[in-house]
């Protein structure tokens, strides 16, 4: 009964958090092993950790290996079709993340967690009407997500050209958060020429 109460309380808090016009909650929470847990404890890998390598199948049929993207800045984004904040974030990506870095060594690697190819394709087809027209990966068995996090989507891991995680975020709560993410991407891109000059 206690666990049910905790779950309902957490669900209500998450519901409020996902609403556009609510005040920010003092702390984000996720459910891990049936218990409400601060989002900071929901990461397996964090800032300054080396990104775990993996190969992901994209919905267009190609496969991408993370280690093959070394030399580029990678935004690894985990999401789910049932997650309203995730879809909100995906709708904002074209103008805030994709277009500004179109001609730079930047890769958005967005992966759906725990869902089938069919379900993800259907959702991306609907999102295309909202201008969301980029390739995404699938991770039906969650093995890739489990390398990085324990719970909670959306989750973002910003990886530098050397494969080191330099920034993480959970949840989508405002345009301000995306502006910060965009700013961090630019900072990492700015490091690339400096590194090349010394080589």
Q: What is the pLDDT of residues 170-198, one digit of tens each?
A: 888 678 889 999 999 999 999 997 645 44
The class of domain 43-198 in CATH terms is: alpha beta
> Would the CA dihedral through 15, 46, 148, 111 be positive or negative?
positive
Q: Name the segment(s) of the chain with CATH classification 3.40.30.10.
A: 43-198
Rg (CA), the chain: 17
- What pTM was estimated for this model as a whole? 0.81
For residue 113, give the nearest of 149, 68, 158, 145 by alpha carbon: 145
pLDDT mean over 13-26: 38
At 80 the three-state DSSP class reads: coil
> What pLDDT is stored for residue 79 in this prediction?
97
> What pLDDT is stored for residue 25 in this prediction?
36
> What pLDDT is stored for residue 176 in this prediction?
86
* Helices and strands (DSSP H and E) totals, the chain: 5, 9
Q: What is the pLDDT of residues 98-146, one digit of tens each?
A: 999 999 999 999 999 999 999 999 999 999 999 999 999 999 999 999 9
For residue 24, pLDDT beyond 60:
no
Length of the chain: 199
> What pLDDT is stored for residue 76 in this prediction?
98
């Amino acid at each position: 009964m206690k666990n049910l109460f905790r779950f309902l309380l957490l669900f209500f808090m998450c519901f409020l958090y996902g609403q556009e016009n609510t005040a920010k909650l003092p702390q984000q929470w996720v459910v891990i092993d049936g218990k409400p847990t601060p989002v900071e404890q929901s990461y397996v890998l964090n800032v300054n950790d080396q990104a775990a390598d993996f190969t992901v199948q994209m919905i267009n049929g190609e496969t991408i290996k993370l280690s093959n993207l070394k030399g580029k800045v990678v935004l690894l984004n985990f999401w789910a079709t049932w997650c309203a904040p995730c879809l909100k974030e995906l709708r904002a990506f074209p103008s805030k993340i994709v277009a500004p870095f179109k001609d730079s060594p930047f890769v958005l690697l967005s992966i759906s967690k725990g869902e089938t190819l069919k379900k993800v394709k259907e959702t991306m087809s609907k999102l295309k009407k909202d201008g969301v027209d980029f390739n995404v990966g699938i991770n039906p068995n969650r093995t890739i997500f489990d390398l990085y996090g324990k719970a909670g989507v959306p989750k973002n891991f910003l990886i530098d050209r050397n494969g080191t995680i330099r920034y993480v975020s959970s949840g989508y709560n405002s345009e301000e958060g995306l502006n910060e993410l965009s700013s961090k991407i630019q900072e990492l891109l700015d490091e690339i020429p400096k590194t090349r000059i010394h080589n």
